[in-house]
Amino acid sequence: MLKIGLIGFGFMGRMHFDNYVRLKGEGHPIQLVAICDVAIEQLKNGKADGNMATAQETYDLSEYALYDSIDAMLANEELDMIDITLPTTLHADLTCSLLEKGYHVFCEKPMARTSAEGRRMVETAERTGRKLQIGQCLRFWPAYEYLKACVADGRYGEVTAGHFYRGSGAPKGWFLNGELSGGALLDMHIHDTDIVNWLFGKPERVSTIGKNVIPGSGFDAASTNYGYADGKVVNALVDWTLEGDYGFEMGFRVNFKGGSIVLGKDGLTVNPNDAPAFKPELAAHDGYYGELLSFTNAILKDEQITVCPPESTLATLEIVEAEQQSAERSGDWVKL
């Protein structure tokens, strides 16, 4: 039985909590033992804000050990794995400390505030022999998994172009301090940058145009072009200035020589050049479930992390930093 401690019980912590409950209910040999948050007494009786709905607004946490101190949780509980859902600037030091103590660590995205910190996380995991995975959940989202399979096996030929996007209203609190969150580029856009990296590999160069709308928040809207040696046209757009009733939206369009695949508000559609369009059958879970199932299986079976290894998410962070540099230079190409 894999014993897990969860640090952070805001929106993302609750997303993870929901999926640990589901996994255990399906017979997966895991047990969420303890939850830690400096404001756990307030959070356990209130709802958390996010761009998706959690399973519940409030939670009955009576069967879990609750802590407002990480040191106290580690001293009092026998745990195998720690799940970190804290603000970005806390990721690197805490992850490295926990790996040094012998725990396997799942850390939410973005990996760290800087690539230098991310590299330290990768090196610590390698040196300690503990497993580390970053929560780049789109790699486990069924529509994106389907797209990855099509790119990998070439069933529709080579990719000629791709466009990825996500948008919502602005987040709240510390997210609007660009020094802490990295703005929309690092906190939100990194999802699509990660997919570009996962599908096509690290680009040779990037060009990003960004705009700051909310003072002090960094770039709130941005568009990046990714340069590849084969000349395919790849772009990703992010915007967290979509207020009012817009809500949240993500999607993509990828063109192949033999067709196109589109994720929009009506779901995933495949459009072959020589056959009618169709909607493929996809797994009935989201990326949060998929990433936690994958990571806990890697620990339980002592297997390599293949879909989302930390070296790959470090490369994604390096790409985002180049995008930031380009945006600060009004779109100049930045080499990687």
pLDDT digits (tens, 9 = 90+) for 215-259: 999 999 999 999 999 999 999 999 999 999 999 999 999 999 999
Q: Please give the share of the chain, as a percent, with pLDDT higher than 70.
A: 96
Q: In terms of Cα–Cα distance, which of 213, 216, 222, 265 is closest to 241? A: 213
The topology under which CATH files domain 139-285+316-335 is Dihydrodipicolinate Reductase; domain 2 (3.30.360)
CATH class (in words) of the domain with range 2-137+289-306: alpha beta
Domain boundary assignment for the chain: 2-137+289-306, 139-285+316-335
CA separation for the pair 204, 90 (Å, rounded): 30
Q: Which residues have a Cβ under 8 Å from the Cβ of 308 and sit 6 or more positions away?
A: 133, 134, 136, 139, 140, 291, 294
Chain centre distance of CA 33: 24
Helix (H/G/I), strand (E/B), else coil: 65: strand
User: Does this chain's domain 2-137+289-306 share its CATH topology with 139-285+316-335?
Assistant: no
Q: What Å distances lie between residue 44 and 47, 86, 90, 132, 318, CA to CA? A: 8, 16, 22, 28, 36
| Opening angle at CA 8, ends 172 and 56, nearest 5 | 75
Cross-strand pairs, 190? none
pLDDT digits (tens, 9 = 90+) for 43-95: 766 655 554 456 566 788 999 999 999 999 999 999 999 999 999 999 999 99
Q: What is the mean pLDDT of the chain?
A: 95
Burial (CB count within 10 angstroms: exposed 0-12, middle 13-18, buried 19+), residue 42: exposed
Mean pLDDT of 287-294: 98
Which amino acid would we find at residue 225?
Answer: N
CA separation for the pair 169, 20 (Å, rounded): 28
Q: In terms of Cα–Cα distance, which of 33, 84, 38 is closest to 61? A: 33
